[in-house]
Amino acid sequence: EAGVVQSPRYKIIEKKQPVAFWCNPISGHNTLYWYRQNLGQGPELLIRYENEEAVDDSQLPKDRFSAERLKGVDSTLKIQPAELGDSAVYLCASSYDRGLAGEAFFGQGTRLTVV
Amino acid sequence: AQSVTQLGSHVSVSEGALVLLRCNYSSSVPPYLFWYVQYPNQGLQLLLKYTSAATLVKGINGFEAEFKKSETSFHLTKPSAHMSDAAEYFCAVTGIQGAQKLVFGQGTRLTINP
């Protein structure tokens, strides 16, 4: 069974440019998460989806970040425009049992560098 | 609300020695607790979890953790370290009710000396 797939693995962009990350969760997983992991820190939740619905986006900086999960499968996270402080690893995770967030499976992440 | 504190951002042990990574949590509701491991340039992999059943939890790769409510702790141990255990370890907590938000600690980098 394929795991959570993220692309690209690495991205370098100039500040003020847009960037998008893509995530394909494990087949059948209804819950999808986007986390941001700053250097030397633990992951922090940006947004959580139950199927197509964003049920927790309280930590998403909505002035520049947006996300979508069309058809309740793949998801895209976008930043526009990017700032230097957005440099981080963006992790996607998915789970099947909505009642137990810890059963999440993580992708390898996208390492974003904003210069 | 939940939070996690991992004591020691960097732990170094010799191969074959005991591994002890410390985690203390704060939770306003009964918690679920987890340990994840992250190898370089990889995502997070679940090591073990506590979900209000047995307080001593065994996970993969010989790791185990004990939930101690009185101490609000969930320390991770392994009797004998192996070189392949070198990685970043994260403790995480979520409440069993309400929002299913997994809150992570800052992480502990484990180094194994030959």
Determine the residue of chain B that is closest to A105 in CA distance: B45
Give the pLDDT confidence of B32-87 residue by residue, as tens digits: 899 999 998 888 999 999 987 789 999 999 999 999 999 999 999 999 999 999 99
For tokens 């793949």, the residue is A74
What is the model's pLDDT at position A98?
Answer: 60
Segment B100-109 shows an average pLDDT of 88
Q: Where are the beta strands (DSSP E) in B1-114?
A: 2-7, 10-14, 19-27, 31-38, 44-50, 56-58, 64-68, 73-78, 87-95, 103-104, 108-113
Mean pLDDT, chain A, whole residue set: 91
Give the pLDDT confidence of A43-100 residue by residue, as tens digits: 999 999 988 999 889 899 999 999 999 888 999 999 999 999 999 999 999 988 665 5
Segment A4-25 shows an average pLDDT of 97
Give the pLDDT confidence of A37-46 residue by residue, as tens digits: 999 899 999 9
Inspect the interface and report whether the beta carbons of B92 and A41 lie closer than 8 Å.
no
Confidence check: pLDDT of B98 > 60: no
Contact list, B41 vs chain A (CB under 8 Å): 108-109, 111
Give DSSP secondary structure letters for A69-89: -GGGS-EEEEESS--GGG-EE
In the beta sheet, which residues pair with residue B58?
B64
Mean pLDDT, chain B, whole residue set: 91
Q: Which residues 33-72 of A have a C-beta within 8 angstroms of B?
A: 33, 40-45, 48, 56
Distance from CA of A28 to the nearest CA of B (A): 19
